[in-house]
Structure formats: C-alpha cells, structure tokens
Structure 1
Amino acid sequence: MALNSINTNSGAMIALQNLNSTSAELGVVQQRINTGKKVASAKDNGAIWAMSKTQSATAQSLNSVKDSLQRGQSTIDVALAAGDTITDLL
C-alpha cells in the first residue's frame, strides 16, 4: 500500500480544493443563466435585489394600468361605432 493516499497527498488536496471552488462558481453561473438575472435572490446582493423587486412591482402595476386603459379605449370604440350605426339608420 502506498504511503501517498488522497488524504496525505498535498497535490491531490490542492486539486480537490480547486475542483470544489470551480464547482461552486459553476453553480453560480448556471443560476445566473437559468434566471437571466445577475442578482437572483437576496443572498446575491440584498440591496439590489430589494430595488429590483420594487421596480418589478412598479412595472406590473403600470402594465395593469395600460391593460385597463386599452379596455376603456375598446369600450369607447364600440360606443362610437354604435353611435355611427344609429346615425346612419336615422
């Protein structure tokens, strides 16, 4: 049995540490690719994550307002078309 096992071989230990470090970095990169965001959770950067959540909520609110305005515009268009039809009949 050799005296140099993985437990006592310093070169192997350094290689194992490098492998673990690379694996952790790969996990971070994969998460960024999967989410499409550099800051995907509060753990990544709490301040920026909080700001992004606020901005996302604002964007969703504005989209809701836009949808409501479009529905209102459609209602007005229908009313105008009905008025034109009534005018044509008279």
Structure 2
Amino acid sequence: MRYTEYVRLKTGRYQSVGTFGETIYAYEVLTGITDSPEYHQISKDEFDSFETWAQENISDLKKMYEIINRPVICSGYLGKEELDTSLFRDL
C-alpha cells in the first residue's frame, strides 16, 4: 500500500488522522521545506480522541510527542512511499 492511499478523516493545523484501508489508523504530519507527509501508526482510541490531543499547548505535547516518536510507517519521501508493515505495533 502506498502513502497516496491514505484517507484523511480528521484535520488539524499541519496534521491529520485517517486510515490506510479499513483497519490501519495513522497520524499524518507535514514535514520539511516541501511539507511532505509522514505517517505514524495510531490506535483507534487515539484516532477517536484526536480533537483533544491535537489541541495540546506547545509546552505540554505529551500525546503528540509520543506519536511522532513512533516509527514512520511510510511518507512522501523518495524510498519511503510504501507502507512498512514490519513497523506496526499492537496499539
């Protein structure tokens, strides 16, 4: 599955959450000078609570910091376009 198959379901500032297929939940953040998308796996509960943790103050980024420190499952960068299922975790 390619990063272009991501379905954006909820949006925030420079970020969103959505799915790959019907069961893989992901957090999308735009990175770099070209705003290339980068995807991190999230749980269904994290997807459901996106509106809460996406509004965290910059000084209190607990949930968002935890998520962006997870492995990148795919991105818009050359060589990372395919979903890497070996990085999936039980969430």
TM class by shorter-chain length?
A: under 0.3
Higher-Rg member (1/2)? 1
Compare relative contact order (CA 8 Å, sep 6+) and give the higher one, 1 or 2. Answer: 2
Considering fraction of residues, name the structure with more strand: 2
Considering fraction of residues, name the structure with more helix: 1
TM-score under structure 1 length normalisation? 0.22
